[in-house]
A = this chain, B = another copy of it.
Amino acid sequence: MKPEFLGGSPDRWCIIEDPEQARLILRSSSSKVFEALLARERTLSDLKAELGMSLENLHYHIGKLLDHDLIEVKRTIPGPGRPLKVYSTLYQAYDIPFDLTPYEGAYEMILHQQEQVARRIARNYAAIMDEVGFRSRRIYFDEETGQVSSHGAPDPRAPQAELPESLGHDFTLDLKLSQQQATELRQELQDLMEKYRRMTLEGRPYLLSCVMCADVSGT
């Protein structure tokens, strides 16, 4: 069984059968460490720099992940003191059957993931509004787009402050799409991701999150 997206050999692929492994991968304080090691080799100090965690915490998570056979010591790097251990996951991809996850079902699992993004977005927007001194919410019907819009705004009693356009933008749209249009939209999002994911080196940090999905709520 060779998953096409891997283009790799079957031995780089693992089907989880142990609920504790499922929990460690998907919903534990060790999940970030697991993800950072997924198919990549990292030393303790690599992880410390990448994740901003303390060495104590990292030791704890690495111990857990080693104990449960999710990561291993791939090799060691000789140094002036003790040799440095290089950790990585055993496999490049993991498949976790829903019934092994710590969630009641697919809904709870996806909601947990989406809520994490929602909290990051809210924290960021709140900080941006604070930064630019926005103290008001503006809601209006935008004749140009035909949608009700709302966003942060300057104090309406002193409206000369400029909207910080480059700091944030978001929209949620209800669409009706043919299968071909949906495939095109998916491709556009993929292209957008491809274009911007390479921009990770300089400048101010940004979060970009896009979702398209068939909508069942109206049907």
**Chain A contact residues, CB within 8 Å of chain B:** 1, 3, 5-6, 15, 25-26, 35, 38-40, 92-99, 101, 105-111, 114-115, 117-130, 134-143, 145-148, 152-153, 155-157, 159, 165-179, 181-183, 185-186, 188-190, 192-194, 196-197, 199-219
Could you say which residues of chain B place their CB within 8 Å of the CB of A123?
A: 107, 216-217
A182-B166, A192-B188 known; A207-B200 Cβ under 8 A:
no
Q: Which of B111, B148, B192, B215 contacts A122 (CB 8 A)?
A: B111
Interface-centre pick from A94, A166, A189 (highest chain B CB count, 10 A): A166
Name the residue on B nearest A210 (C-beta).
B210
Within the complex, the shortest CB–CB distance from A60 to chain B, in Å, comes to 21
Tell me whether B117 and A115 are in contact (CB under 8 A): no
Q: Which of B101, B118, B190 contacts A118 (CB 8 A)?
A: B118
Within the complex, the shortest CB–CB distance from A166 to chain B, in Å, comes to 4
Tell me whether A199 and B214 are in contact (CB under 8 A): no
Tell me whether B110 and A122 are in contact (CB under 8 A): yes
Could you say which residues of chain B place their CB within 8 Å of the CB of A138?
A: 3, 93-96
Bound Cα distance from A133 to B78, whole angstroms: 49
Could you say which residues of chain B place their CB within 8 Å of the CB of A124?
A: 213-217
Bound Cα distance from A205 to B38, whole angstroms: 36
Within the complex, the shortest CB–CB distance from A120 to chain B, in Å, comes to 6
A97-B156, A186-B166 known; A213-B38 Cβ under 8 A:
no
Bound Cα distance from A183 to B17, whole angstroms: 46
Tell me whether A213 and B128 are in contact (CB under 8 A): yes
The 9 closest A-B pairs by CB, nearest first: A93-B140, A39-B141, A114-B118, A168-B213, A111-B122, A107-B126, A170-B211, A95-B156, A205-B215
Could you say which residues of chain B place their CB within 8 Å of the CB of A120?
A: 215, 217
Bound Cα distance from A3 to B205, whole angstroms: 30
